[in-house]
Structure 1
């Protein structure tokens, strides 16, 4: 691979990871006040050096783009589809969660790691506020 090609790939990966912090509104109508919505955040699709990556794939059947790590939803019950990637084994497990969220709060997806970080035993949604 030429030096220019390697540089281009590195710049593309950097741009993708930098844009991975985007949030998307998953409710109809105009943007609402922060106290009316809940934010759910996962990990970027591309992470450097992280042993476990938790990627939000769908909310209520709606696909989440690869550059979107957070979603804003109305409070209530939502169904999440999440991928859990283990770097060492390169295994990916898919998890479905039904969660209840409240307006004005921020939540983060967390992996329940198995022994020696070699498996993903489950996923939890934690309130980080």
Structure 2
């Protein structure tokens, strides 16, 4: 029983930490209107049919507990994994994007029929 409780606590800690963001520019933290926030899904998502995980930004690896990054306005290269729960399959995508300061962006999967495959990933502005 103790090992199950410890496992559940570990999963809860990972999920709680899954909302962490990382600053991917040099210098002190900048105002919100100067940076763009790019968000993917947590690595562990219970019940989600499709998960889009941000793996790298401009060649910088993103940790498993980090779901968002803050970058300066401009062009960036994203490496993203798209996982399909039903098939336990996945695909990796490289995206060249341009983002603007003061905006929030979310990674979205483009899926095939019946959520059986990930055909692509897009970056959508949430503002």
TM-score band w.r.t. shorter chain: over 0.9
Structure 1 segments unaligned to the other structure (5+ residues): none
Q: Structure 1 CA distance, aligned partners of 2:12 and 2:77?
A: 31
Aligned counterpart for 1:88 among listed residues 86, 90, 99:
86
Q: Map of 1:1-129 to 2, 5 A cutoff?
A: 3-129=1-127
Please give the per-residue CA displacement for 1:17-58, whole angstroms capped at 9, x wherever unaligned: 110000000000000111110000000000000000000000
Q: Which runs of 4+ in 1 moved over 2 A?
A: none
How many residue pairs were aligned? 127
Q: Structure 2 CA distance, aligned partners of 1:53 and 1:31?
A: 29
RMSD of aligned alpha carbons: 0.4
TM-score, length basis structure 1? 0.98
Q: Structure 1 CA distance, aligned partners of 2:77 and 2:10?
A: 32
